[in-house]
Amino acid sequence: MTDWPQVVQQHGPIVWKTAYRLLSNEADASDCFQNTFVSALELSRAEAVRNWPGLLKRLATARALERLRQRYREATRLTRLPDDFGGPGKVAEPSRLAETAELAEHLRGALAEIDAREAEVFCLACVEGLDYRRIAEQMGITANHVGVLLHRAKSSLRERLGAHGPAPAHGAAPAGEHSPKETRP
């Protein structure tokens, strides 16, 4: 039998951090937190859980992405600047904070638009820092499939976020093109 108060106490901070990082909204993160543990309870009744942190990160990521998709469908909420930008003790320039918050909001929107499994793999790998093997274990797929989904997610996100990236240097030709002064051998 699972000691739920202990599971929540021990792994609650991981779930909260995962949800809040993706949602950047306390009310949504709180709902996601609760939904994550409800989902974990249902799963634990069906089978024994071997890796609580991995399962909870995956469930929190999936629940946060569901809420993010819902938020963008509704398009009625605004996201504020991140509270923890730069990490402890680091102060960033206000313009840099605004740029980062804007890019983060565009990323959230793009994650809400791409395939759900690709978004989940991207978040687990790039936001949570899990390796392919751990993601594969949690999602019940092979590590190679994780790589394929991550590649697809990055390609989709690159396409959607292309307009929000840095502009090419003055006079530089777009990738794959040669400037008029260049000649081919």
DSSP codes joined into one string, 97-125: HHHHHHHHHHHHHHHHHS-HHHHHHHIII
Stronger pLDDT, 134 or 97, i.e. the higher one: 134
Is 150 in contact with 122 (CB distance < 8 Å)?
A: yes
Stronger pLDDT, 94 or 36, i.e. the higher one: 36
pTM: 0.60
Type of residue at 14: I
Does residue 38 surpass a pLDDT of 90? yes
- What per-residue confidence (pLDDT) applies to 102? 85
Stronger pLDDT, 83 or 40, i.e. the higher one: 40
The model's confidence at residue 69, banded by pLDDT at 50, 70 and 90, is confident
The model's confidence at residue 59, banded by pLDDT at 50, 70 and 90, is very high
- Eight-state DSSP code of residue 141: S
The model's confidence at residue 91, banded by pLDDT at 50, 70 and 90, is low
- Eight-state DSSP code of residue 173: P
Does residue 101 surpass a pLDDT of 70? yes
Q: Where are the alpha helices (DSSP H) in 24-142?
A: 26-46, 52-74, 94-113, 116-122, 132-139
- Eight-state DSSP code of residue 76: -
- What per-residue confidence (pLDDT) applies to 164? 66
Q: What do you get for the CA distance between the two ends of the chain, in Å?
A: 72
- What per-residue confidence (pLDDT) applies to 65? 93
Residues 6+ apart with CB under 8 A from 16: 29, 33
Residues 18-42 have a mean pLDDT of: 94
Closest CA to 21 of 51, 76, 59, 65: 65
Closest CA to 65 of 22, 27, 26, 126: 22
Report how far Cα 105 is from the mean position of its chain's Cα atoms: 11
Residues 6+ apart with CB under 8 A from 96: none
**CA distances to 64, 65, 66, 118, 143 from 133, in Å:** 22, 21, 24, 16, 5
* Residue whose token pair is 């409800």: 38
Q: Is 44 helix (H, G, I), strand (E, B) or coil?
A: helix
